[in-house]
Structure 1
Amino acid sequence: MRPAPKIELHVHLEGTVRPRTLLAIARRNGAPLPARTEAELARHYRFVDFAHFIEVWIATTNCLRGYRDFRQVVVDYAAEAARHGAVYLEGIFSPAERVRRGVRWADIFGGYADGAVEAYERHGVVVRLTPDIDRELDPALAQECARQAVRYRDRGVVGFGIGGREAAAGLARYARAIAVARDGGLGFVPHAGEVTGVASVREALRYDPVRLRHGVRAADDPGVAAELVDRGVVLDVCPTSNLRTRVVRTLDSHPLPVLRAAGVACSIGTDDPAMFGTDLSREYALAARLGVGAADAYAAGLAGALCDEPTRAHLARVGRSAFAALS
């Protein structure tokens, strides 16, 4: 039986690389890793908290260094996601993190863009791209990242985000980069309300986001949740990620049911599936346990997607056909 179709809007492409492939890429590039075997790498992926996760993410993903690596990452993940029913993905990547270590913008953006084309040709998954900056980045470099993202708008880049440690800096520090991206036609899709409280969600809403990545702390304030509904802002929720980084202590205490009851649209994603030991089917199953079924998750994904209208119409037809048959 074929899996139900899925839309995934929150997946960091660098965090999709399974341990065996990551080790092979590191050897190919002569790049250091804090592990020599899959078992050692798995031990590094036992995160104490969110800050520890960020440290490990940086230490491991910097073995990605060339056009070939970035292209492979997209194609490999599309193959994996397709097995779980994915028909549309918006892949996050962090180009400035690589540029600071000597990698060329063209190799990063070109690799991911070409990988997205190959992913569709080989696996039938539509891939769009949403590069991210982090809250500890020099603002001038953040602005250049936004300009580079706009240059690749006709090659699959549809959004611009910000992530990293939420407490490191406010969004005002990056207001110019956000404006460059928005003026260039890209949707703003920041991480917010993941590690810090609901104030982070309020701050992000001042910058007119299309979606919020995570945003689960909006459940702590009914007024903020209502504002999300009124403005049609979709949250990208990643249950296993929240558990593995200790943002949420137990699945039973996850805020998703509260958000669902408030009427907030919540798409479902894997975040960093290789690092969190999960996959898209598992995340959809966890979401269903929390009250968001596959049809609801698909509808939220469709509402929040930054694709063009012909693609949106195609995805809508896929959803209607699939979920009518399942009902």
Structure 2
Amino acid sequence: MNQIDLIKKIPKAELHLHIEGTFEPELMFEIATRNQVSIRFKTVEELRSAYNFHDLQSFLDLYYEGAKVLIHERDFYDLTMAYLKKCREDHVVHTEIFFDPQTHTERGVAFKTMFDGIYRALADAQKEWGITFHMIMCFLRHLSEESAIETLKEALPYKDKIIAVGLDSGERGNPPHKFERVFKMARDAGFLTVAHAGEEGPAEYIWEALDLLKVKRIDHGVRSDEDEKLIKRLVEEKMPLTVCPLSNIKLCVFKKMTDHNLKKLLQKGVKVTINSDDPAYFGGYMNQNFIEAARDLNLSHQDILTIAKNSFEASFLSEADKKRWIDQVHE
């Protein structure tokens, strides 16, 4: 079996996916027209040509512009269902999606409107296709901790449907310690925690996420190899990294895929997973990330199987469900 066939065949879990980052241009224009919202691009082609980023912030500027067309529950449902169809195509059997309430509540969309649309699509896909899910609510780190605390309060009535809180958006100048208080409040309320760290920010941000935010996973974490002591800790604690190869290239974290340190981290014993991050903007969903990483980093069949197994081990599934899926990851 060749690598591509193996990647397509095996079940996978996706652990680092921003639902707002799955907004394909065609759907964006469709919803913009439906809601009579103007965006600064005239055609799908013009919008796609803008997907040429030089860093995280240049992407975020476009990301937030696209999100403004999402107004009604139906919009969030359509966005989420479009992603879940990609999951079905790529044999992603479990997804733990990030959603950013502040992106929407800051412009007057009710938490309930956004949440109900996303959740309803996830529930429908589980019923129809058997794709299981968890929801992770992220705080926007470029906003204040006070804003994050307000968002946490809004989420409490939905606590039975949100498994964890996370931290995303612009990393530079927004260290994890800025959010130590709200993360403690979230843990005290019973949420698990994860955080973006060590993508554009330094390895020190990973230490902070571990020690101050008490995270169960590090999202990205590719700069951990700048600190051998940190690598040793990640291996000893079996701390997962939710790595997003195509995203890292598109945002110039690495110049090209052959420069990526994913295989090096894997060889050091770090629990690496592969994910698609914001696939509409970064050039590929789950299988495409696997395929390009496998090709350019010369991943073996065993490497591919290990990464897929890691995705279930690192998930928030029950131990029984983890084992059930891991047993199906083989050639």
TM-score normalised by structure 1 residue count: 0.93
Cα distance between partner residues in 1 of 2:41 and 2:172: 29
The 10-residue stretch of structure 1 (191-200 or 284-293) with the greater mean CA deviation from structure 2 = 284-293
Are residue 93 (structure 1) and residue 99 (structure 2) matched? yes
Pair 1:203-2:213 in alignment: no
Please state whether the residue corresponding to 2:96 is helix, strand or coil: strand
2:272 aligns with 266
Q: 1:151 aligns with which of 151, 157, 177?
A: 157
Aligned 8 A contact 2:67 2:104 in 1: no
Alignment of 1:302 onto 2:302: no
8 Å contact from structure 2 (residues 249, 257) kept in 1: yes
Q: 1:36 Cα deviation (Å)?
A: 2.3
What displacement does 1:300 show?
Answer: 1.4
Give the superposition deviation at 1:172. Answer: 2.5
Q: Distance in 2 between matches of 1:107 and 1:185?
A: 24
Q: Give 1:27 deviation, angstroms.
A: 1.2
Residue 82 of structure 1 and its aligned partner are, at CA, apart by 1.1
- Counterpart secondary structure, 1:152: helix
The runs of 5 or more residues in structure 1 that have no matched partner are none
- Is 2:328 aligned against 1:321? yes
TM superposition shift of 1:75: 1.7
Q: Which moved more, 1:119-128 or 1:260-269?
A: 119-128
- Cα displacement (A) at 1:88: 0.3
Asked whether the 8 Å contact 1:15–1:271 carries over to 2, the reply is yes
1:48 partner letter: H
Match of 1:181 in 2: 186
Q: Distance in 2 between matches of 1:17 and 1:127?
A: 19
For 1:66, give the aligned amino acid.
Answer: H
Q: What residue is the counterpart of 2:112 in the other structure?
A: 106
Q: What is aligned with 1:161?
A: 166
Residue 64 of structure 1 is matched in structure 2 by: 70
Amino acid at match of 2:324: R
C-alpha distance in 2, partners of 1:281/1:220?
28
* Partner of residue 115 from structure 1, selected from 116, 121, 144: 121
Q: Which region of structure 1 is more displaced relative to structure 2, 59-68 or 270-279? A: 59-68
Closer, same or farther: CA 106–62 of 1 in aligned 2, 3 Å: same
1:247-271 Cα deviation digits (max 9, x unpaired): 1111111111221121110111000
Which residue identity is paired with 2:328?
A: S
Pairwise CA distance, 1:3: 2.4
Q: Offset of 1:48 from its aligned partner?
A: 2.1
2:60 corresponds to 1:54: yes
Checking the alignment, whether the CA contact within 8 Å between 2:10 and 2:328 is kept in structure 1 is no
- The aligned amino acid for 2:202 is G
Preserved contact between residue 12 and residue 93 of structure 2 (Cα < 8 Å): yes
CA contact (8 A) 2:313 2:322 kept: no
Aligned length: 320
Cα separation, 1, equivalents of 2:293 and 2:159:
32
Establish whether residue 191 from structure 1 lines up as the match of residue 196 from structure 2.
yes
CA shift digits 1:121-171 (9 cap, x unpaired): 22321121111111121222201222333432322x111111111123222
Please tell me the residue identity of whatever aligns with 2:72: G
Distance apart, 1:322 and its partner CA: 4.0
Mapping for residues 232-243 of structure 1, pairs under 5 Å: 232-243=238-249
Query: Which amino acid letter does the alignment assign opposite residue 320 of structure 2?
Result: A
Output the TM-score relative to the length of structure 2. Answer: 0.92
Q: Which amino acid aligns with 2:248?
A: N
What amino acid is the match of 1:228? L
AA aligned to 1:259 is L
In structure 2, what is the equivalent of residue 124 of structure 1? 130
The structure 1 segments of at least 4 consecutive aligned residues displaced by more than 6 Å after TM superposition are none
- Deviation track 1:55-85 (CA, whole Å, cap 9, x = no partner) reads 1111112211221111222222111111111
CA distance in 1 between counterparts of 2:56 and 2:66 reads 15
Residue 45 of structure 2 is matched in structure 1 by: 39
From the superposition, tell whether residues 321 and 180 of structure 1 become closer, same or farther in structure 2 (CA, over 3 Å).
same
* Matched-pair identity in %: 29
Contact 1:209 1:233 in 2 (8 A): no
Instruction: Please name the residue that 1:275 is paired with.
Output: 281
Where do residues 205-220 of structure 1 align in structure 2 (5 Å cutoff)?
Answer: 205-206=210-211, 207-220=213-226
**Unaligned residue ranges in structure 2 (runs of 5+):** none
> How many Å separate the matches in 2 of 1:176 and 1:151?
20
Report the more deviating stretch, 51-60 or 167-176: 167-176
CA distance in 1, matches of 2:198, 2:313: 20
| Correspondence for 2:141 | 135
- Select between 166-175 and 200-209 the one with higher mean Cα deviation: 166-175
Q: Counterpart of 2:134 in structure 1: which amino acid? A: R
Cα distance change on mapping 1:122 and 1:36 into 2, 3 Å: farther
